[in-house]
Amino acid sequence: MSVSTELRRLRAGRATTRPTSDRSAYGFLSPWLIGLVVITAGPIVASLVLSFTDYNLLQDPSWIGLDNFRRMLSDDRLRQSLWVTFVYVVLGVPLQLGLALAIAVLLNRGMRGLALYRSVLYLPSLLGGSVAVAILWRQIFGTEGLINQVLGFVGIEGIGWISDPRTALYSIIALHVWTFGAPMVIFLAGLRQIPASYYEAAVVDGAGRWQVFRHITLPLITPIIFFNLVLQIISAFQAFTQAFIVSGGTGGPSDSTLFFTLYLYEKGFGELDMGYAAALAWLLLLIIGVFTAINFYAARFWVFYDD
């Protein structure tokens, strides 16, 4: 393939020596290192310790060993929250990223009104989680909301999408996909970083549009796809705000939107069972850690770095 040869040629001059250990690196890292030691590490370790205690925030924690973790085994609502969260991650992340990438690629091509489209598409992601926004989403997905009004035009009688236990979770996933603006912006920034010379070279070689996308655009933004994938999975596992505002903090109806962190929050602050909440947090960390590790391992086979 001529395009790949071209890419290889462009990359060829790069196999020069790299400097070995570089002490100035710690200078660049110093803000982060200070932050790690002073602000981040303490609370992380503390939460690990608390996960082995019975801690209600009002009294001193008391050591109970593995009891919190044992309790998880017979916790039905925990199982429900894990299921809800997995469904959300497995459906929400790929759908949102796929849409974000497709639109970003579409928007990256010079066209009229580009800036306008970009801004408008980002709108739903700006809204955040205020009370007004909570009511907004509930009205849209409610029995008399936008969705059902649109369905009504074509003669379908809708249901209360967020108030029916069978559809509530999927409504939140739809809402998540709707706010694809954030990964879209990151993809756009990534696409902007591809040097024009790569495209020019490909054009000289007579590559078609799909070939250009497949052999230049796609490989060059794999680091950005990878970034979005890793971070979106992490944040999807921690999804809180949307479920909280849509269900009024209950995870209802019928626990159908009981996201993991919602349950954790309810335990920690609602029931003042912070020891158990800390244990739940470390279970989550373990799960996210495994997913992230797999991601990093798999990245060797598909992520292309230009350095």
Piece in contact with other proteins (CB under 8 A), picked from 55-63, 78-86, 87-95: 55-63
Based on its alpha-carbon atoms, the radius of gyration of the chain, rounded to whole angstroms, reads 24
Q: Nearest 5°: CA angle at 114, between 109 and 116?
A: 160
Is the CB of 87 or the CB of 189 nearer to other proteins? 189
Unique residue bearing structure tokens 């070689």: 205
**3 vs 92, beta carbon nearer other proteins:** 3
288 phi/psi in degrees, rounded to 5: -60, -40
| DSSP assigned state of 271 | S
Distance CA 205, CA 149 (A): 52
**By CB under 8 A, residue 255 contacts other proteins:** yes
143-172 residues near other proteins, rule: CB under 8 A: 143-146, 149, 159-160, 162-165
Site residues for other proteins, window 97-136 (CB under 8 A)?
103, 106, 108-136
- Report the nearest approach of other proteins to the CB of residue 155 (Å): 18
Q: Token pair for residue 36?
A: 């790690």
Torsion of CA 125, 126, 132, 134, to 10 degrees: 20
Rounded Cα–Cα distance for residues 26 and 285 (Å): 27
Whether 139 and 145 have beta carbons less than 8 Å apart is answered as yes
Min dist. Cβ of residue 252 to other proteins (A): 6
Given a contact cutoff of 8 angstroms between Cβ atoms, the answer to whether 212 and 199 are in contact is yes
> What is the rounded distance in angstroms from the CA atom of residue 72 to the CA atom of residue 101?
38
**Which residue in the block uniquely carries the two structure tokens 């009205």?**
139
Of residues 202-241, those binding other proteins (CB under 8 A) = 202-203, 207-210, 212, 220, 223-224, 226-227, 230-231, 234, 238, 240
Report how far residue 284's alpha carbon sits from residue 52's, in angstroms, rounded to the nearest whole number: 15
Shortest reach from residue 149's CB to other proteins, in Å: 7
Q: Which residue, 5 or 40, is less far from other proteins as judged by CB?
A: 40
Q: Return the bridge partners of 63, or none.
A: 53
Please report how close the Cβ of residue 191 comes to other proteins at its closest, in angstroms: 8
For residue 108, the minimal CB distance to other proteins (Å) is 6
The residue within the footprint of other proteins, chosen from 5, 9, 22, 151 (CB under 8 A), is 22
Q: Which of 29, 66, 87, 294 binds other proteins (CB under 8 A)?
A: 29
Q: Which of 23, 65, 155, 301 binds other proteins (CB under 8 A)?
A: 23
Instruction: Report in angstroms how near the CB of residue 76 gets to other proteins at its nearest.
Output: 9
CA 54 to chain centre: 31
Q: Which is nearer to other proteins, 92 or 303 (CB)?
A: 303
Judged by CB under 8 A, which of 169, 173, 174, 274 binds other proteins? 274
Residues 235-254 contacting other proteins, CB under 8 A: 238, 240, 248, 250, 252-254
Structure tokens at 33: 């290192």
Q: Which of residues 67-96 bind other proteins (CB under 8 A)?
A: none
How far is residue 93's CA from residue 230's CA, in Å, rounded to a whole number? 10
Interactions with other proteins, residue window 32-51 (CB under 8 A)? 32, 34-36, 38-44, 46-47, 50
Q: How far is the CB of 19 from other proteins (least distance, A)?
A: 6
Nearest to 265 by CA among 90, 83, 81: 81
